[in-house]
Structure 1
C-alpha cells in the first residue's frame, strides 16, 4: 500500500526532517572544499541523496530503539511510533529503504564511497544503544555528524583526504556533542529514573554545562585552524568570529537552565551555525 499524505507527514516528524539543516551544509562544505569551488552537479546531487538516506536511517533506528522509553517519557509519548500512527513494521521498512537509498547513492558516487557505506550505517546506528552504556554518547552522535564533511570531500575527491575536512570533522564532533548535552537537560529526571546515561544525568548539571562549554571553545579553535589549513581569505575569519559569538550566546542561555529556552539554544542558534560555515567557506574561497 502506498503511504498516504498523513503517513508521509508522520515519517517526516519521526525523523525530524527539519534537523537536516545540522548535517547537510557540512557535507556540502566538504564537497566545496574538495572542488575548490562549486562542485559538479551530479556528485553534489548524489551526496545530498546519500545524506538524506543515512540520516533517515539513523533517526528511524533511534526511534525504534527508544520506543520502550518513549512510551514512558512525557516529552516523547506523542511520537508517531508510540501512538501507532506509524507501526513498527512500517518503521523497519522505512529504515531498510533509507539504507538502500544511501547505499545506492554511494554507489553512484565512487567505489570508495560505496565501500564505506556499510561502516557509515553501523556508526550511525550504534548511537541509539550508547545512551544505555556511557554518558559520553553525545560525542558519538557528534562524530556521526562529523563524517558529513569527510563524506562531502570524498564524494568529489576520493583519491586523497586533506587536513581541512579532518579539522571540520573535529569541529562538528565537538559542536554536536555540546548541543546534544544541552538537549539532554530536558530528560534529566527521566534518564536518572530509568538508568539512561547522559552527562547531565551522570555528572550533574554544573559539570555537564562546563564540559559543553569547553567543547564549544574547542569547536571555535578547530574552526580557526580549519580556516588556516584551507587557506581561506580574511572573510572566513569574520564568519568564524560570528559563529564563536553564537556559541557563546548559546552557552549563556543554557547557564540559566531555563528549559523553555532549550529550543532556542538547540535548534534556532545551531540551525544558523552550519549554513554560516558553508557560506563563510564559499566566500572565503571565492574572494
Structure 2
C-alpha cells in the first residue's frame, strides 16, 4: 500500500511538473485536424498512436523547459514554488523523463507512417529549442506558438501521411492564439525579465503595447477561424462556436491585471482552455450533425 502511494505521488508530481491539464490547448485542434483529414473519425489505431505521440512530445518539451529555466525559476518569486526550485524533483530524473517521453514520441510517430517518423527528430529540435529563445529574442512568444502549432499539423500528417493547406491554417491559428496569451502571461514578469536579461514583448515594448500586440494576434486568429468557413464549407454551428470563442477572448483581454495572479491565471489559462473546447465541440457538431 505504501509503495503504491509513493508511485501515485510521483505520478502526480510529474503531472504537475509538465502541467498536464494544459494539453487542452493543443489537443482539441489536433482532433479537429484528424477528423477533417480522415473525413470522419480516423481509425482507432491512428487516434491511439496520434494521441500518444502528442502527449509524449508535449510532456518531454515541458519537462525540458523546466530544467532549462530552473535557474530563473529559482530567482523569480512567481515561479520559485515550482518542483525543481523546491527540490521536489531533481534535474537528472526530469531529464530521464524527457528522454523517455521523446522516445515514446518517436516510436508513436513510427507506428503512424514514414512521414511522421522522418519529421519526429525535427519536431523534437523545434519544441526543445523554444526553451532558449527568451534569452535572445522577444519573438519567443511566437516561437512557442509555432512549436505548439505542430500538434494539428502533425495530426493531419498522422492520418494522411501527406502535406495539405488546411492543417497549416489550423497551425497558424494555434500559433497566434498561443503567442497572444503567452504575451499576456509574460506581462507579469516585465521587471524580472529586464533585470535578468530575458526577452519578451511586454519587457521590450512595455505593458500597454505588449497587450495591444496580443490583442492584434488574437484578432488575426479570429479572422483565420472565419476564413475556414468557406474553405471547409462550415455552417452555423461552427459560426456560433467562433462567436462564443471571440466573446471569451474579449473577456480575457478585459480582465487582465498583471498585479493579480489569480486574475492572470484565469485570463492566460482557464479561459483559453474553455475557448479550445468550445471550438472543438462546435466544429465536431458542425461536421457530424450538419454535414
The Cα of 1:5 is off from its aligned counterpart by: 2.4
Say which structure, 1 or 2, has more relative contact order (CA 8 Å, 6+ apart). 1
For the aligned residue pairs, the C-alpha RMSD in angstroms reads 1.7
Deviation at 1:7, TM superposition (A): 2.1
- 1:102 is the counterpart of 2:110: no
Q: Deviations over 1:146-192 (max 9, x none)?
A: 1111111111111342x222211111110000000011122222111
Gaps of 5+ in 2: none
Q: Give the alignment partner of residue 39 of structure 1, picking from 18, 37, 42.
A: 42
Asked if residue 232 in structure 1 is aligned to residue 234 in structure 2, the reply is yes
CA separation of 1:6 and 1:257: change in aligned 2, threshold 3 A: closer
Deviation sequence 1:46-84 (CA, Å, 0-9, x none)? 111111000011101100110111111111112111122
2:260 and 2:63 map into 1 onto residues whose CA distance is 29
Check 1:127–1:227 CA distance in 2 against 1; reply closer, same or farther (3 A cut): same
SS at the partner of 1:71?
helix
- For 1:54, the equivalent position in structure 2 comes to 57
1:63 to 63, 66, 79: 66
Report the alpha carbon displacement of residue 233 of structure 1 after superposing the two structures with TM. 2.3
- Is 2:22 the partner of 1:12? no
Structure 1 Cα separation of the partners of residues 215 and 284 of structure 2: 28
Structure 2 CA distance for aligned equivalents of residues 249 and 262 of structure 1: 12
The aligned runs of 1:1-287 (5 Å cut-off) are: 4-161=7-164, 163-254=165-256, 258-286=260-288, 287=290
* 1:257 positional shift: 6.4
Using the size of structure 2 for normalisation, the TM-score is 0.94
The TM-score, its normalising length taken from structure 1, stands at: 0.95
Distance (whole Å) between structure 1 residues aligned to residue 258 and residue 100 of structure 2: 42
- TM-aligned CA deviation for residue 204 of structure 1: 0.3
How many residues get paired? Answer: 286
Query: In the TM superposition, what whole-angstrom CA distance separates every residue of 1:92-146 from its partner, at most 9, and x where no partner exists?
Result: 1000000000001101100000011010011101111000011110010111111
CA distance in 1, matches of 2:68, 2:113: 32
Distance 1:256 1:102, change over 3 A: closer
Equivalents in 2 of 1:77, 1:250: separation in Å?
26
